[in-house]
A and B are shown apart, each in its own frame.
Chain A
């Protein structure tokens, strides 16, 4: 037998790893003190962090919450370089709502709460549809109670009772029992996405007021287009059906929606006090612009990205031209166009709301970036996915919807959320054209004789507001990436 010959006589059993490589000790050894230099750097960094934190806390933790002016703050804190939080106490409501009439604050707050109810079924799959309806009942019930009056109290209590009933039923039957009930033909609650669809029409009414019939008329345009498409596509084919149904909707919106809304509004008025766009301001304005731009830029971006990949020369050229033009121009330029130049091109006497103009510009801007992010996701998909979809007989739209987009969007999640966060922060640029977002408001607050010279407190507060939202979006995107991961589990 030669020296090279070797046969293992028994297979080795599994062993636990050495204690020094697992647990807290193992982690610290691997990540903080892996070498002498590394240990020194770790300790120096720790000292630096502690020093910075103590400097910040000694500035921030000051008993000036009740201060009424800079001087008063100084008296309260006994001098020294400390924060003067009185300005936030006095002005935080303004920083949130701008000049929105205080007796109507419940409307933006309700809209904000409803925003969460509307996006929950889209964002979180683990919240059951019954819990979504519970949330809606609670939000509407609390609002009705707040508005008070006999009718409001009764409606509020009824809604809360309904919510409690659904919640009790949802919590008392477990998942499997419920699945069995449904299999036996138990009635399910309607899909909460119905409310998500209503939300975009309800919110402008809540924020701007006026007649509820106008948003209803606008929503009817979509319903009309849907039925027109269903009917015409069967008769004329899908492309002509699509074009004609878009025309039907446009005709409705341009010529019939407003008279229709006014006519019904004359019979059954459902009005809220109107709030002018110039009274909008503060973080509410940033959120309004941000949510609309985020909500609209994703679908428009998808369409643009697909258009850019299209074989149809004209569609492709239009999409490329649009994307490259918008990306080649600073957002501020577009906002100036919205605030000043657009008026020159519109017929005299047209009253085109300034916030609406800004919304359109910011949305277009975000869409162009979104289109490029999604194009990156599309480019990352192997050709085989398209071929497999084709080979199974899926047509273009079905392949896009079921195979291509779910994967391309998943790949693009980090880029998409970065774009969302970027757009949300860019909403502060509207202060340049005179809209009073938190930054615009902070300028006037700093000009107040009482609060002159205060910078860190105001900007810190505004930064905190934005940080909460941007950080939430960032964490959500990481959660979503984890949830959608389907390999190597």
Chain B
């Protein structure tokens, strides 16, 4: 699982965690029907943190980050993102969504739009950015993820890794303060995983607040300042990556790590 080694080591000195709170989750519970999927989640994320969320499938890790931009609705507790509490007030939801970027396992690019249009759509229609400016910014981010030459192609003509990098660029075009990654490399083959992870590392080096659900433990060791282990809908253990991998405390974590490392 952690077979991918990155070419260059991430420069941790550039990754500064500030005192400012980006996300605060207090006593959050969520049910799918009668199934209690998230149980009493408490989590505070500071601006600039890179958090990797690990755990077996069905442990609720994807659901947790999907609650942060309200793709899933929580039933109890509080989620405050950048000072805005997520309630059923749609205005707050839209505000949070435009500040939180999200990258999906299956990319979810819009297949009927070119790469450039994928990147400029939300800035133009949500942020009301003038088209020219939106296109310049999109090209800037496409250069950053190293695929400016694909700008006028359609997503269906790109490889999986390229599509995922476009998806990252698309999120970045909204100038988010927080990025959520929901298993961004799980649908990719090894050569492509590497190119996506390198993009994510460079993002971390620029000080982006990141929450990343992933099985790439190499990425966690390299980039994360905190690893959270979830099982059965609750946070079982969290620690700095070195401590987490070398000295896991709970039996469940030890078992999980012994299986994937």
Interface residues of A, Cβ cutoff 8 Å to B: 382, 384-385, 387-388, 390-395, 398, 402-403, 406-407, 410, 484, 486-489
- A185 nearest CB across to chain B (Å): 14
Instruction: Please tell me if the beta carbons of B156 and A391 are within 8 angstroms of each other in the complex.
Output: no
Query: What are the residues of chain A within 8 A of B155 when measuring CB–CB?
Result: 486
Q: Given A385-B108, A407-B111: A390 and B125 within 8 A (CB)?
A: no
A395 and B94 contacting across the interface, CB-CB below 8 Å:
yes
CA distance A457 to B33 in the complex (A): 66
Give complex CA distance A406, B154 in Å.
Answer: 15
The answer to whether B156 touches A384, judged by C-beta atoms less than 8 angstroms apart, is no
Query: A392 and B71: CB pair below 8 A?
Result: no
Q: With the chains together, A284 CA to B101 CA distance in Å?
A: 55
Does B110 lie within 8 Å of A487, measured CB to CB?
A: no
Contacts of B100 in A (CB 8 A): 391
CA distance A489 to B114 in the complex (A): 13
* A393-B97, A393-B126, A398-B125 known; A388 vs B154 contact (CB < 8 Å): no
How many Å lie between the Cα of A395 and that of B127 in the bound state? Answer: 12
Evaluate contact between B121 and A486: CB separation under 8 angstroms: no
- Rank and list the top 5 A-B pairs by shortest CB-CB distance, nearest first: A487-B156, A393-B98, A388-B108, A384-B108, A392-B122
CB atoms of B112 and A393 under 8 A apart: no
The answer to whether the Cβ of B102 comes within 8 Å of any Cβ in the partner chain is yes
Tell me whether A403 and B108 are in contact (CB under 8 A): no
B72–chain A nearest beta-carbon distance, Å: 10
Q: Could you tell me the distance between the alpha carbons of A388 and B155 in the complex, rounded to whole angstroms? A: 14
Is A486 a contact of B112 with CB atoms below 8 Å? yes
28 intermolecular pairs with C-beta atoms under 8 Å apart: A384-B104, A384-B107, A384-B108, A385-B108, A387-B71, A388-B104, A388-B109, A388-B110, A390-B97, A391-B97, A392-B121, A392-B174, A393-B97, A393-B98, A394-B121, A398-B125, A402-B125, A403-B110, A406-B112, A407-B112, A410-B112, A484-B112, A486-B111, A486-B112, A486-B155, A486-B156, A487-B154, A488-B157
Taken residue by residue from 98 to 132, chain B's Cβ proximity to chain A (1 for < 8 Å, 0 otherwise) reads as 10111010111111100000000110011000000
In the bound assembly, the distance between CA atoms of A385 and B104 in angstroms comes to: 11
Chain B contacts with A in 33-92, Cβ cutoff 8 A: 69, 71, 90
Do A391 and B112 touch across chains, with their CB atoms under 8 A apart?
no
In the complex, which residues of chain A have a beta carbon less than 8 angstroms from the beta carbon of B107?
Answer: 384
CB pair A390 B122 closer than 8 Å: no
A-facing mask of B161-181, CB < 8 A → 1, else 0?
000000000110010000000
**In the assembled complex, how far is the CB of residue B221 from the closest CB belonging to chain A, in whole angstroms?**
28
CA distance A398 to B157 in the complex (A): 26
Known A390-B97, A392-B174; judge A385-B106 contact (CB<8 A).
Answer: no
Report chain B residues within 8 Å CB of A403.
110, 121
- Give the residue of B106, B109, B122, B171 whose beta carbon is less than 8 angstroms from that of A394: B122
4 further interface pairs, Cβ-Cβ under 8 Å (given A384-B108, A390-B69, A391-B102): A388-B109, A391-B69, A392-B170, A393-B122
- List residues of chain B with CB within 8 A of the CB of A388: 102, 104, 108-110
Compute how far the CA of A221 lies from the CA of B230 in the bound complex, rounded to whole angstroms. Answer: 59
Complex Cα distance, B99 from A391, in Å, reads 10
* B69 partner residues in chain A, CB cutoff 8 A: 390-391
With both chains docked as a complex, state the minimum distance between the C-beta of B177 and any C-beta of chain A, in angstroms: 13
A175 to chain B, nearest CB (A): 16
With CB as the reference atom, state the residue of chain B lying closest to A388: B108
Q: How far is the CA of A43 from the CA of B155 in the complex (A)?
A: 46
A384-B157 in contact (CB<8A): no
Q: Which residue of the partner chain, among A382, A390, A394, contacts B71 with CB atoms under 8 Å?
A: A390
A385 closest partner in B (C-beta): B108
- Expressed in whole angstroms, the Cα–Cα distance for A55 and B41 within the complex equals 82
Pair B112/A394 contact, Cβ less than 8 Å: no
What residues of chain B lie closer than 8 Å to A382, measured between beta carbons? 106, 108
CA distance A430 to B154 in the complex (A): 46
In the assembled complex, the CB of B143 is this many whole angstroms from the nearest CB of chain A, namely 21
Set B108, B109, B110, B174: member contacting A393, Cβ < 8 A: B174
Q: Which residues of chain B have C-beta atoms less than 8 A from A410's C-beta?
A: 112
Closest to B122 in A: A392
B154:A394 contact, CB within 8 angstroms: no
- Scoring B residues 123 to 163 as 1 if CB is less than 8 Å from chain A, else 0, what string do you get? 00110000000000000000000000000001111000000
When the two chains form their complex, are residues B111 and A392 in contact, meaning their CB atoms are under 8 A apart? no
Complex CA–CA separation, A251 to B233 (angstroms):
56
Give chain A residues whose Cβ lies under 8 Å from the Cβ of B106: 382, 384
User: Chain B contacts of A385 at CB under 8 A?
Assistant: 108, 110
B112 and A392 contacting across the interface, CB-CB below 8 Å: no
CB nearest to A392 among chain B residues: B122
Indicate whether A487 sits within 8 Å of B111 (C-beta atoms), given known contacts A392-B126, A393-B122, A402-B125: yes
Closest to A384 in B: B108
Say yes or no: A387 contacts B112, CB within 8 Å: no
Chain B nearest CB from A388 CB (Å) reads 4
Inter-chain contact A392/B154, CB cutoff 8 Å:
no
Cβ of B154: which chain A residues have Cβ within 8 Å of it?
A: 486-487, 489
Nearest B residue (CB) for A395: B94
Q: Is A387 touching B110 in the complex (CB atoms < 8 A)? A: no
Chain A residues with CB under 8 Å of B110's CB are 385, 388, 403, 407
The CB with the most chain B CB atoms within 10 A, among A388, A390, A392, A398, is that of A392
